[in-house]
Amino acid sequence: MDRNILSQLIRCPACKNPLEKAAEIYSCTNETCKATYPVFNNIPVFINPANELFDQKDFEREDDIFFKTYNSGITRFLKKIQPDITYNNVSEKNYLHIASLLKTQKPIRILILGGSVDGVGIKHLKEILDESDLIVETDVSYGPNTTVICDAHEIPFKNESFDLIIAQAVLEHVLDPFLCVREMQRVLKDSGLIYAETPFMQQVHGGKYDFLRFTHLGHRRMFRNFREIQSGVVAGAGSSLVWSLKYFLTSFATSKKIDRILSYGGTFLFFWIKYFDIILNKSKGTIDAASGFYFLGRKEKDYLLSDKELLASYRGFRYSSES
């Protein structure tokens, strides 16, 4: 990552004015704001001092905030052999498609929200990047990829900075996803691409940082200011059933330790059901029972999907008169 290019794009998350760096502190140039942002572990922490969820001091130590990435050897081994409960054969295809849309464009500027660890399939996108390109991987958690700490409600970059913005398994973990999407729209260039994957039928997997779920139409409306390139199911009803069965089992837990044991065991008991999605992901009927959805769209000036058009785009079989 070219730090010089990055420094030209950075803005104060509180007021969106330029920042100046001296030593290990970024300072807002706006005399009314005067907010400051520290650098911890060589990573700038652009968290608004008025932020109610996170404090800049939370990041003094390079430790886990959300993802548990620094585990013991035994824990890493157990996680490695643990099967995934979600059947996702879509993300890799989507990233290959995105790469094909961007490959003739140089230099490429990419912003990844929630990017402390690689999302499924993103390696295909990273393979087309070279030294002329910029990829900024942000999160509110330390991880192997984190280059900037920031909150997606207040993205610390100037308007129209990026050609592609990615929010993979992120928007369920924010308090106001509509505000986050408006921020993404602000920092995305005209004709830039936006890609998001968000769960629908999944239980809590982010502890206290887990807030919302979306139907396919709810997800689409969140991106109503973007023209759709494609959207659909990431994982279908088979994966949804595995999630439900696993969490049914963990509902019997009386302590955190027992919850972990039941969760780990439930994964091995039920993971195989996800393979029904090999068939179900192709079925029109899975749209109302899917585990999660994706949206790939393009920013176009003055574009707005009307609610009438939104309702007309419904793909399922359910009727409002049904109980």
pLDDT at 71: 58
**Which residues neighbour 235 within 8 Å (Cβ) at sequence distance 6 or greater?**
86, 87, 88, 90, 274, 277, 281, 290, 291, 292
Tokens 């994964």 correspond to: 267
Is the Cβ–Cβ distance between 46 and 10 less than 8 Å? Answer: yes
What is the pTM (predicted TM-score) of this model?
0.94
Look at residues 247, 44, 197, 67 and name the one whose alpha carbon lies nearest to residue 142. Answer: 67
**Which residues neighbour 126 within 8 Å (Cβ) at sequence distance 6 or greater?**
135
pLDDT at 249: 98
pLDDT at 6: 87
Q: Where are the domains of the chain?
A: 3-59, 77-312
Look at residues 228, 41, 76 and name the one whose alpha carbon lies nearest to residue 146. Answer: 41
CATH class entry, domain 77-312: alpha beta
Look at residues 196, 226, 194 and name the one whose alpha carbon lies nearest to residue 310. Answer: 226
Look at residues 222, 243, 246 and name the one whose alpha carbon lies nearest to residue 292. Answer: 243
Hey, what's the torsion of the CAs at 150, 152, 153, 155, to 10 degrees? Answer: 60
DSSP 10: B
Residue 61, token pair as written in the block: 């130590």
Hey, what's the torsion of the CAs at 133, 138, 144, 145, to 10 degrees? Answer: -10
pLDDT at 69: 55
By DSSP bridging, strand 43-46 and strand 25-28 are: unpaired
By DSSP bridging, strand 25-28 and strand 19-22 are: antiparallel
Q: Report, as ranges of residue numbers, the positions in the chain whose pLDDT lies below 70.
A: 1-3, 64-72, 320-323
pLDDT at 75: 73
